[in-house]
Each structure stands twice: as structure tokens, then as C-alpha cells.
Chain A
């Protein structure tokens, strides 16, 4: 029995929640001095502590605490004045100590929210908690068809990742978003990623696993006033997958309920290729983690002054920036979204800061430059042209030295490595011809070559001048200032 998403939403109301794991971008690991670089030779960034060797002891990385407090503050959380780490006990070969140092009932940050804009509306997503823990190593299963442990011949473990500080951000359940639930879920992760990036606490690369999501989804019959049994979907490794996973779970659960079945509380795996989830370990056989306060560490008690100084040092957050730019650049929500989605916020803002008008800066970055970035398969921000150079081009256009067509040529030159905009203008001889003497010959030639057009202009058909302007522009290979050409034509025709 299959159900379409729209059908499912006619009968059921979804509730979702997200648990997001973020690897912090600290220089060293959570409890030792080992490096954290991604992609290093396996087991090259390890020491007795992160290998959990007998007798080794953890020491808390102060920067990781600071980053977590930053995240908590940015998510409007309460920062605990005293909290402890706890041991989460379970056996797995990629866990060097067979327990993970995490936080349990005393998280560092609690009870906040993140406002998320979706389709011009703002949804407030509640934040349950933000806590700090250590990452595990990474298992590589060799010999099987799937790369999963099932069917593998043997496994290898890389402990480079073991002990990298990991922040877990847990939302409160998000009800009432209806049809938009998948979109809101995606927008939340997007906004969260932007916040984390603005804070500079993580490189938030989903493809490298520095930001990982688990999605909890449940549905209940509309109007029932109840929440259904939730499933936890793991392996959701891109923004698009967040949206698809919520959608797929809603549809799957609706089909189960429609056929008289019951949704089982379980962990499910999202498959990027097919866009569906499959059953993982059932929560019924879930392990007892035997949490208890980590006796090798002393409590974390960030004093008020420290928290205040961290709060004072927070950069502008995406929501504040959005409000500021919409206001000062007179943008619509959609225009802002377009800028953000193009990844052009920073470059446009920098271009405006160097004197370009917001409209011009947006025009170049979202137009010509976006097109060229797209052709090159890169981001606008990665193009070999600086906001200062774009601002200079914009200035040359405003001054009449360049017209748009010439400006595009200058851009081409700068991107080709021919130097600054002024270098390109000089080297390619691209300046607009504004010397009347030089233009008059071309104007006269155009009038002489088109006597009928000149006659029509004299007869009051002023718009016919366009033909003559075109002819002059062609003759000057586009370097003329079209407005000045039109003026000269009108003068000569009527004289």
C-alpha cells in the first residue's frame, strides 16, 4: 500500500525533531593534545589518552567549552553555571575505552531556540539541549559488498577521529508545521549550519561528517491531539537528505497506519540513492548505557564573567544579518534568499563596503559572476575576482567609462588573470569613446548612410534614432557611450 506525501498530510499531522552532531574546529582534541586535521594518515593523530590506553586520563579542552558556550548563547540557551561530564558505557571497537565521555543529565546549555525562515514565514524551533562529548573512531569494514559490518571479512579502525570534540544539539519536538515539515527541517539545519559557520566553531561540512543529523519523525491522525510513535533516522548526510528523510518517513508511517499497522519505535537508516529509510536496530533491544558522572574529570563551572565575555565577543548571527541587510538594502525576503542561496552574501556585502551600490553589487554577483561561476562549476565566492575589483568595475560603469558590455569584458579579463580592472581596461583598450570629435564622424556617417531614417526623425519619429545609435555603436565596436551618441544624433539631424 503506497500513499503520496500529499495524501498522508491530509490525514496525518507530523512532528519532527533533530539531533545534530557537530565536530568542533578546535586545533586539538577534546581531552588530549592530538591534532584534529581531517583526512590524515589513519591512526597518526593519536596518543595514550585518545587511544584510551590503561592509566591515561582526560583533561578538558577549554576552547571546546568556550565554543559550546558560544553555540549555546547563539541558540538563546541558558548556560549551566555548573555541570559534569558523564560516561556512556557500551562496547564497540571504535570506542577506545568502551565508554564515551559525554554529558547526560547536566548538559552545558539548555532550553533555547532558533528562528528559521521558511517561505517568508518564521518558525521558532525549540532547542532542548546542547552538550559536549568526544567523537568515536571510525570503522572500515573490509570484504563485504556494502561497506557495512554485515558480511565484512574484517574491520579496521582509525582512531584519528576518536576524541575530537563533538557537540550534540537536540531540538524540542517541532509540531504544527504540516505540509512544510520537511522544508522546515531542512531550513533548520541550514540555519544552524550558517550560525555555526558564523560563530567560527566548526567547518560544518556535511560531506566530511563534521555535521551529522539524526531525524526523529512521528505522525498522528489529524485532530487526534496526540503524538505518534517516533522513529529515529540516521545516516542523513546532506541538507537535501534531511528534507527527503522527513518526507519519506511521513509517507512510510502513513502507509503503515493506513493498513492498520503500528509504527515501531526504532532506528532507521536513510539511503541516499533510493531516498527511503530501512529498519535498523529496534529500540526495544536498546542498550542500557549505565551513565554515571565521569570520575576522572572535575565539574565544569564557567563563571559569569567568562560567559559574559564570550557573549560580548559573539559575531553577528545570520538572523541579525538578514534583518539588517533586508532593511538597509531594501530587499524582499525572496531577494535575500536568492543572495544567501547563491552563497553571495559575504562578497556582495564586501563589494558594497567598497563603494558599490547594493543594487549594482547584487546585479554583478548574481548575474554575470553567478553565470561564470556556474559555468566553472564553482561558487561565486571562489572566483578569482575580489569584491574590491567588482566595486571598481561598478564605479567605472557609474562614471560612464564603461558600459555594461565593456564591463563584462573587463570581468572576463580579470578572471583570466590579466590584472586589475584598470589594467584590463588599459590593455584591451576598452574605455567608452566619449570624445565628441571622434564620435561626430561616426554619427555623420550614420546619418549620411541612412537618409530615410534621418528624415523620419526630422518628421518627429524620435524613436527611429535607435537605428542610427545602433549603427554608431557598431562602427565604434561598442565603445561609445550610447546616451551621448543619441544626443549627438539629435543635434546633427536637426541642425
Chain B
């Protein structure tokens, strides 16, 4: 199977047509998605999109950097012609009348939007089990979760149903599924990729980002989707960091790397820590200068996140009331219809967080909860500032464990929340961070990820480090990590 970079080159050179590439992926989806369940919707016009690209090529028109490359889209990007459900009954069947900036940019870059992927309802969860349309499966082991909330996107890429996929990261929703599916996933700098047309979970945290099977593929998507958007006031008006260039030149010689000391100990799976330690040693062997860095306030990141994100969500999700679009349940007064619609339309985790956020913002509690959490957020930013005064990037495991069994944590929200322990600080600070595969845990043979974190707008550093790690590990293993996915072979034989 070709990478996205190879596919783009092959389409551009005419070695293969976009229609052929798309057809192959549609076939793959048809063959395996009954088991993986990565997609909520497959684009009916995928072939037509591909033919349009071939037409442009035939007419000698310039092709975009992703011409003919299928991209799977997390089902919270507004897409014209495809429903956008956010994994929720409350938006089931909603056809957006407008296009998100990111997907519009991808269409302009020649990508074929091949379908919409499954996710935890409104991006709230770490396993896709909160999807109201059933969970996705981890292609490494169909009994395991693919992570979340962008689990459908990660599973689609890992299962070769798409070479690239879009996700969003609010507390780790790109990096954690990337890690447990053994692929690459990036949370760009907050404001580096537009949120316009991305259904909001927590506005101050939500960051669209790429999934790919290789570091270069992720960088290609990262670059194509990014850049200033006047429709998003929080979008940064600065050039896109040179991520593709960095991904082509992995190099850590002389780079100062800090290992976050807070992310180890109880709750961390030994096999995950072993792979992480190995990755750090690898970086050192490649010429990086590794030091330990303490970020003392990171231990408060999880509680702060679970006040800030639900608070914003409680307000962002207020608009789903049955009055204008989506589900409308019950009868009677407007108030009764709103209440019944929300009762029927939202799942348990979404309700839990709306209640949590409503409480945290309430008069008399605001200062103690939302206000205090914002203060913690400032302290975490200061921890990062201090750390980046000493090192160029920080590293840690992506998530404390490998993929867990379906159903294992559904009745234990706290256990579920811990999956994002290591990824949340970068979200709270708006930093850039990447997850790159670093091997398989000995206990279960499932992938573990290395997290690299960089200061805002230094996204290129992530790719420089990740590309070096990827190249060195691939040399050591003799093949990409995904080649070891036994579950994938099972899928292929179907």
C-alpha cells in the first residue's frame, strides 16, 4: 500500500488515476469496514470527486498537493453533501448548508473526501464507545478500542481504508487514538488550523489536525489544512510552520529534549514505559541532548481540563434544542420540546459533561471551579514556558496504556479520563504536539506512542523529531510498525 505522499506523486505523474486510487480505497472500505466500523458515512460522490481531479489533470490544470488522495473526515467537520452528526442522535441526518474551512482547503488541495468517520459523541470520550452509532474497532485487535474521540479516523488510517484522516484534538483526541492504533497523529498549535465549520466541543481547546501512517503523510495533510482563516477569530495570522520540509529532514542532532518527569509511575503500563524509555535512548543515540524536566503543575491539568472543557461544552451544546435543525422530540411548549429533545438526543457522557459544566459556571461556584481552573491553566502555560526556556521539545508517553478492551472502562468515567493524562497539558497551553509510534508493549503486543511537544507555532520541530524517530525505528525493526499488526492481516484475508 502506498503512502499519501506516494499516491499524490503517482496521481500527479499520471502513473495512476485519482479514480483508481479512490476506487481501491472504496473497495477496501467495503471489505473491512463491517468489522472496523470506522465510517459513519461513505461519500456517494467520492468517485465523482476523483474524476474531477483526473479531468483537471487531463486539461493540464494545476493540481493541488493532495490531488487524488482520499481523506477520511471526522464527523464533526461541516461538509456540504455529506451529513455531519458528531456521533450524536441529536444531529442524525443533519446536512450542513456550508463547508468547514479545513475541508474546503482540502478539496482545493485536490483531496477526495471519502467519508465521515465515527467518533465519541461530540468528541467526548477516549474510545469511540460514546458514539451513538456504536463503537469503532482497533484494527490491531477488534476486541480493543481504537481510542478516541477521533477513533474512527485513526482506525480508518490504520486499516488502510484511507491514507489520511482529519481529527480534532481537545484533550488528546488525535494523539491518543493515533498512539493506540500505531499511526501518526498531530495536534497543531491552537489557532494554527481553522475551527470554522468544526462543531464545537470546547472552543478554547478544539484543534483540528491530521492522521497519517507516516510522519511525512501527516505533515502533508497538516500543511494543506492549516493557515490563517479570517472566519475564525482565534486563528493565528502567521505563516504555517514548514512541517513538510521538517518531515523530509528528520534530525535531532544537538536538539535539546526534555523528558517530563511527571508522566510516569503508578497507572503507567510497564510495556508502554519500556517503549518510551527506548525511544528516549534512541533520540540520545541520534545526537539529542536529553534532560529531565519537571512541570509541577501538570498533575492539575486533568481536573482543570474537566472543568474548562465541560463548561465551554455546556454552552456550546445549548443550541441543540430541536428548534432549528436536527432531532426534535416530544410536544408541548418550546421549553418542553427543548427538554425532551435534549433528553432523547444526547447520550450519558454528553449529559454528564453538560451538567458538570453548567454547575462549574453557576453563580456562586464560578470562582471556585471555572475561575480556579483558568488559573491552573495559566500555571501550566508557565510550566511550559519555563521548560521551553531550557529545551527545544518535551517528550512523554502519549497515553499511559495501550488500547483497552471494548466495554472495559465504559462504567468508569475516571478510568476513561485517565487515558488523556499526558495529552491534556498541551491542549490547555495551546502547544503543538505529535504522537509517533515507538513500538509494541510486551504485555499485549499493542502499539505505544511517543509524544513530542513543542511551543506554539514550532510545529515543524515535532516533525523533525518524529521523522528521525520513525526513520531510526523503521531501520531497527526492518519495516513500519503497522506491518506487525496481526489484526490487520486478519482483516486483509476477509
Judged by a CB distance under 8 angstroms, whether A87 is at the interface is yes
Judged by a CB distance under 8 angstroms, whether B76 is at the interface is yes
A58 touches B233 (CB 8 A): yes
Q: What chain B residues lie within 8 Å of A89 (beta carbons)?
A: 314-315, 318, 361
Closest to A88 in B: B315
Q: What's the Cα separation between A291 and B314 when bound, in Å?
A: 12
Chain A interface residues toward B at CB < 8 A: 48, 51-60, 87, 89, 91-93, 96-99, 155, 157, 288, 290-292, 295-298
How many contacts A-B (CB < 8 Å)? 103
Closest to A287 in B: B363
Q: Mark B167-210, 1 if CB is under 8 A from A, else 0.
A: 00000000000000000000000000001111110111000000
Q: List 13 A-B contacts (CB under 8 A).
A: A51-B324, A53-B96, A55-B199, A87-B315, A93-B323, A97-B318, A290-B363, A290-B366, A292-B312, A292-B366, A295-B312, A296-B200, A296-B234
Q: What chain B residues lie within 8 Å of A56 (beta carbons)?
A: 98, 196-197
Chain A binding surface SS class: loop
Q: What's the Cα separation between A332 and B312 when bound, in Å?
A: 59
Q: What chain B residues lie within 8 Å of A55 (beta carbons)?
A: 76-78, 84, 96, 100, 195-200
Q: What's the Cα separation between A337 and B280 when bound, in Å?
A: 83
Q: Which of A54, A295, A296, A298 meets B86, CB within 8 Å?
A: A54
Judged by a CB distance under 8 angstroms, whether B120 is at the interface is no
Q: What chain B residues lie within 8 Å of A52 (beta carbons)?
A: 319, 324
Interface size class of B (residues with CB under 8 A): 35 or more
Q: What's the Cα separation between A93 and B199 when bound, in Å?
A: 20
Q: What chain B residues lie within 8 Å of A297 (beta carbons)?
A: 233-234
B319 touches A290 (CB 8 A): no
Q: How far is the CB of B231 from chain A (nearest CB, A)?
A: 6
Q: What's the Cα separation between A93 and B322 when bound, in Å?
A: 9
Given the known inter-chain contacts A54-B78, A98-B319, A290-B358, please indicate yes or no for A295 contacting B91, CB distance below 8 A.
no
Q: How far is the CB of B187 from chain A (nearest CB, A)?
A: 17
Q: What's the Cα separation between A51 and B78 when bound, in Å?
A: 15
Given the known inter-chain contacts A53-B97, A292-B361, please indicate yes or no for A91 contacting B321, CB distance below 8 A.
yes
Q: What's the Cα separation between A97 and B203 when bound, in Å?
A: 14
A292 touches B363 (CB 8 A): no
Q: How far is the CB of A144 from chain B (nearest CB, A)?
A: 13
B233 touches A288 (CB 8 A): no
Judged by a CB distance under 8 angstroms, whether B370 is at the interface is yes
Judged by a CB distance under 8 angstroms, whether B338 is at the interface is yes
Q: What's the Cα separation between A478 and B467 when bound, in Å?
A: 104
In B79-134, the 8 Å CB interface with A consists of 84, 86, 91, 94, 96-98, 100
Given the known inter-chain contacts A55-B100, A296-B203, please indicate yes or no for A288 contacting B363, CB distance below 8 A.
yes
Those 8 A-B pairs whose CB atoms lie nearest each other, nearest first: A98-B318, A295-B203, A290-B361, A295-B204, A54-B199, A55-B197, A55-B78, A55-B199
In B135-193, the 8 Å CB interface with A consists of none
Closest to B359 in A: A290
Q: What chain B residues lie within 8 Å of A93 (beta carbons)?
A: 321, 323, 334, 338
Q: Mark B305-347, 1 if CB is under 8 A from A, else 0.
A: 0000001101100111101110000000011001000000000
A290 touches B315 (CB 8 A): yes
Other CB < 8 Å A-B pairs besides A53-B96, A89-B361, A298-B234, 5 of them?
A55-B84, A57-B195, A58-B233, A93-B334, A288-B363
Judged by a CB distance under 8 angstroms, whether B14 is at the interface is no
Q: What chain B residues lie within 8 Å of A292 (beta carbons)?
A: 311-312, 315, 361, 366, 370
Closest to A94 in B: B323
Q: Mark B346-363, 1 if CB is under 8 A from A, else 0.
A: 000000000000100111
Q: What chain A residues lie within 8 Å of B358 (beta carbons)?
A: 290
Q: What chain A residues lie within 8 Å of B321 (beta carbons)?
A: 91, 93, 98
A296 touches B233 (CB 8 A): yes
Closest to B323 in A: A93
Q: What's the Cα separation between A245 and B312 when bound, in Å?
A: 40
Q: Which of A54, A96, A99, A298 meets B233, CB within 8 Å?
A: A298
Q: Which of B97, B196, B315, B334 meets A57, CB within 8 Å?
A: B196
Q: What's the Cα separation between A291 and B371 when bound, in Å?
A: 12
Q: How far is the CB of A30 from chain B (nearest CB, A)?
A: 12
Q: What's the Cα separation between A52 and B318 when bound, in Å?
A: 10
Judged by a CB distance under 8 angstroms, whether B292 is at the interface is no
Q: What chain B residues lie within 8 Å of A48 (beta carbons)?
A: 78, 96-98
Q: What chain A residues lie within 8 Å of B203 (beta carbons)?
A: 295-296
Q: How far is the CB of B448 from chain A (nearest CB, A)?
A: 33
Q: What's the Cα separation between A155 and B333 when bound, in Å?
A: 10
Q: What's the Cα separation between A57 and B194 when bound, in Å?
A: 10
Judged by a CB distance under 8 angstroms, whether B232 is at the interface is yes
Q: What's the Cα separation between A298 and B204 when bound, in Å?
A: 10
Q: What's the Cα separation between A160 and B258 when bound, in Å?
A: 54
Q: What chain B residues lie within 8 Å of A53 (beta carbons)?
A: 78, 96-98, 325
Judged by a CB distance under 8 angstroms, whether B296 is at the interface is no
Q: Which of A54, A57, A98, A155 meets B91, CB within 8 Å?
A: A54
Q: What's the Cα separation between A400 and B195 when bound, in Å?
A: 75
A59 touches B96 (CB 8 A): no
Q: What chain B residues lie within 8 Å of A296 (beta carbons)?
A: 200, 203, 233-234
Closest to B326 in A: A54
Q: What's the Cα separation between A39 and B434 when bound, in Å?
A: 52
Q: What's the Cα separation between A416 and B25 when bound, in Å?
A: 80
B204 touches A59 (CB 8 A): no
Q: How far is the CB of A239 from chain B (nearest CB, A)?
A: 34
Q: How far is the CB of B77 from chain A (nearest CB, A)?
A: 8
Closest to A154 in B: B334
Q: How far is the CB of A166 from chain B (nearest CB, A)?
A: 19
A155 touches B334 (CB 8 A): yes
Given the known inter-chain contacts A53-B96, A56-B197, A298-B234, please indicate yes or no for A97 contacting B319, CB distance below 8 A.
yes
Q: What's the Cα separation between A292 and B307 when bound, in Å?
A: 13
Judged by a CB distance under 8 angstroms, whether B487 is at the interface is no
Q: What chain A residues lie within 8 Å of B232 (beta carbons)?
A: 57, 59
Q: What's the Cα separation between A324 and B335 when bound, in Å?
A: 56
Q: What chain B residues lie within 8 Å of A60 (beta carbons)?
A: 233
